[in-house]
Structure 1
């Protein structure tokens, strides 16, 4: 058949005799119209194997009667056969069964239906992958945000007020948790389960207080008050309170503590420096006489992680 007649049958088929089985009636009507099984499958949207079973009256290969009657209706419509006659002939040849749950409808494959490709299964897979990817991205962002969030900063101590600093009983005074000498102003908090050792001032009020050790060259260079910084020094101006951790290229920790607003740190090490700030908007940085513009690197949590000099 040509393309003009693929969807329209111009002349009715010869009527089947009363004694014909449904399969014989369908086959005679198809042959009278000059249709092949593949052409009939394309017009009825039924699988070629289903039409072949209908024409052979092979009811064992077909599905439940509720679906078979639908097949006959489609064939009757395309082949211009009396629908009721096909259904009555089918009912006379099939023994009624007890009601059962209907099986899945058999659909023609892409080859049986003249080509084409099913897109519903592919679309379902894409949706599942998209949902899984969104969930993984959300969990990673949440985990990264929780790791980079900092504890609430302590309130600044009033000028002139005594601010005692607790030192872990199991670590020497002046050494922070990284093992490096503590910079000026470091505050080490002892773990909750660490034993508390009474200080000399508590056990012996009359004992003279130990004299403060002289500031080492490293401490003087860190505070930036008495030492002259080299050209490779990193200068930080803390406008407001912020937690800061700075390491140089050798992995040496130059600063790792909460810095009060108004402090200025001059860190002299081997660049590039690895910088992490807890309150980045309240900190200004300068390197080799030029300000370091890291505003674009500040996260929604007000933290910032970058290297100096900035990577380009």
Structure 2
């Protein structure tokens, strides 16, 4: 490089090299994709028209490579003419933004993990609740008859104190097993009902206990008790609810006076005829296996059937 070339600015060198190669401004534009105003600003060294130093240096590199000049020498000439620092000021902020992103990323990951764990816990809790609700009647059915028999055995000694022995026998009859309740309402005496209770349901624990309260009442007036026991209607104003079992089902029936007419597991083939004060509150563990009649009028319990085959309703509605 001659002294004259060293004294010439970066723009004059670019213009001279272009002319030496026989290229026009349009040729430079086609090869470098630089705008015509930028090419003219470079050759005329209109530094203000070149924009930020970082962009100006990029323009100079593209133009210098096209015409075969050393880009670094031309950039040094530009730095001297413009007074711009040799190091680009935009580099450090780019590094800082990258580091800031690294600090934020773990926070988002932690939040996402917490959200996933929370959703899993909620699904597990609600799933357990649905399972427990669907299996309550089935799992509770074998245990409830034993507990009910133990809890309800204590009121039996109070039978002689009732003003009407027939009424007392009917109120307590639903607490015993299915054969006892049906026989007393049909008009049979206590001696025959004890035998029927043992045959109807071998799983019932109270079949041998039921006759004892009736025997305690005999010393007072044996003839009078037999006359009252033979009466067909123990509850004068009661209504009749009949249950016929086509399959095993847990059955609970409570009348308007709060008396539990039946509360145990009934087997397929059993028929229960209950008398009480309506409306009756009924719960069936297997609604598909029970046929109902209220005052000899059929009632379909599947109207109230739940997805787990249970049903809870009142008769009459």
TM range (shorter): 0.3 to 0.5
**TM-score normalized by structure 1?**
0.41
**TM-score normalized by structure 2?**
0.40
